[in-house]
Amino acid sequence: MPRIASIDVRALAPDVERFRYTSFQDEVYTTTTLVQITDDGGAVGLDAYDSDSYGDWDRSPLETLRTIVPRLVGADPDDHDAISTLLSEDGTSPFAPAVRSTIDMACWDLAARRAEQPLHTWLGGDGAMTSLPAYASVPTFDDTDAYLDAIEGYVAQGFTAIKVHAWGVPSRDANLLRAVRARFGSLILMHDAEGRYDAEGAALVARACADVGARWFEAPLPDFDLDGYRRLRANVPDVPILAAGDVIWDPRLLADALRDPPWDAVRFDVSFVGGFTPTRELMSVAERAGMDVELISYGHTVIQAANLHAALAFGRTSFFEQAVPPEPFEHGVLEPIRTGLDGFAGVSARPGLGIDVDPAAIEDATLGIVRAGEEG
């Protein structure tokens, strides 16, 4: 039986370009908290969580994990349910599941690497699919011309689908969508409003999304406004409506919400909900409701890989989300995930996540370290 020998946690603060996602926000500081778990046989599993903040880097995930990782040394990394129970304190944990997801995901990566299987097959997938069509997830630009120029470039790179993060101003956003459609007639188009609209604004932009044949309209309202989402779907049934996917992570809560579905598909990020262990339950809830799960994968390459493997394993996701431009999200990795000229993004055939890090680059970006076990 393998045992956890050591855990290395790093808060990474890379010197990269930063972005806005509505006109109401400042540029975001994205701190990547990277976890590497080594077992007593020397195998290493890794994963990460991206936290966004404003004005400075976010050290809180690192500090939360400081009190957790010493308790995991000596544990069986393959007993995912036991580790999940320990991390959640039997459901009474005072910290968000996103922080503890790093441990769960790194343990799954470790197990798949030890078994010499890609993670999506280790999670139960049949291995028939190794890639998904990708959409370029575009940040906020200053004006319409800047969007059109940027999208032109992403189409030239092979993307056949684009998601815009507009300004959060309903009439202006609706006009942007129409301008994008006028320039790019066959492009698959999505829009993410970051929960900025009220009911009237959401309805206005939903009608614009329907007019331009958008693949989906994401986050028109705050995630917890379930009744607002239900009314919006009823009033504008011609475009699929999705939540941002940031806050409903408990399978019981999701099952309760889906008794009268507020959305047309479920959305979440494996690194937000506690890792692959709860992801299996959430996927089952969505399957029982007959719904797709459009996974978030905006973030660091390690997080992209985690969500792409989950998408391939469970087969309920139609698109891979690629943050663009991609370079700011690739710090410290040797082979990033990139969408090809065919419009698809795929996983490596190597074991586990298939992602290896560059120790020197990781060291250069390190803001703080927590270690436990043999290395601590």
Q: What is the pLDDT of residues 203-253, one digit of tens each?
A: 999 999 999 999 999 999 999 999 999 999 999 999 999 999 998 888 999
Beta bridge partners of 36: 8, 46
SS3 state of residue 66: helix
Average pLDDT (310-328) is 97
- Residue 352 DSSP class: B
On whether the CB atoms of residues 247 and 223 are closer than 8 A, the answer is yes
Name the strands in the sheet holding 29-39, side by side, starting at the edge strand that comes first in the sequence: 44-53, 29-39, 4-12, 366-373
What is the rounded distance in angstroms from the CA atom of residue 230 to the CA atom of residue 233?
Answer: 5
- Residue 101 Rama label (left phi>0; alpha psi -120 to 50; beta): alpha
- Residue 93 DSSP class: -
Beta bridge partners of 372: 7
On whether the CB atoms of residues 108 and 43 are closer than 8 A, the answer is no
Q: Which domains does the chain have, with CATH numbers?
A: 4-116+355-373 (3.30.390.10), 122-346 (3.20.20.120)
Rounded to the nearest 5 percent, the helix, strand and coil shares of the chain are 40, 20, 40
Mean pLDDT of the chain: 95
Q: Residue 344's pLDDT is what?
A: 98
* pTM (2 d.p.): 0.96
And the tokens for 171? 């009439």
What is the rounded distance in angstroms from the CA atom of residue 359 to the CA atom of residue 10?
Answer: 12
What angle do helix axes 301-314 and 276-288 make, rounded to 10 degrees? 40
Pairing type for strands 320-323 and 131-138 reads parallel
What is the rounded distance in angstroms from the CA atom of residue 2 to the CA atom of residue 81?
Answer: 15
What is the rounded distance in angstroms from the CA atom of residue 3 to the CA atom of residue 371?
Answer: 16
Does residue 376 carry a pLDDT above 70? no
What is the rounded distance in angstroms from the CA atom of residue 337 to the CA atom of residue 344?
Answer: 10
Beta bridge partners of 164: 138, 191
Does residue 90 carry a pLDDT above 70? no
And the tokens for 177? 């969508």
Average pLDDT (35-54) is 96
DSSP 152-165: HHHHHTT-SEEEEE
pLDDT in tens, 240-286: 999 999 988 889 999 999 999 999 999 999 999 999 999 999 999 99
Does residue 93 carry a pLDDT above 70? no
> Of residues 87 and 80, which shows the higher confidence score?
80
Work out the number of other CB atoms within 10 angstroms of the CB of residue 268.
Answer: 26
Percentage, residues of the chain above pLDDT 90: 92
Residue identified by tokens 């604004």 is 201
> Nearest-CA neighbor of 257 among 233, 281, 278, 230?
230
Q: How many CA atoms lie within 13 A of 293 on its CB side?
A: 28
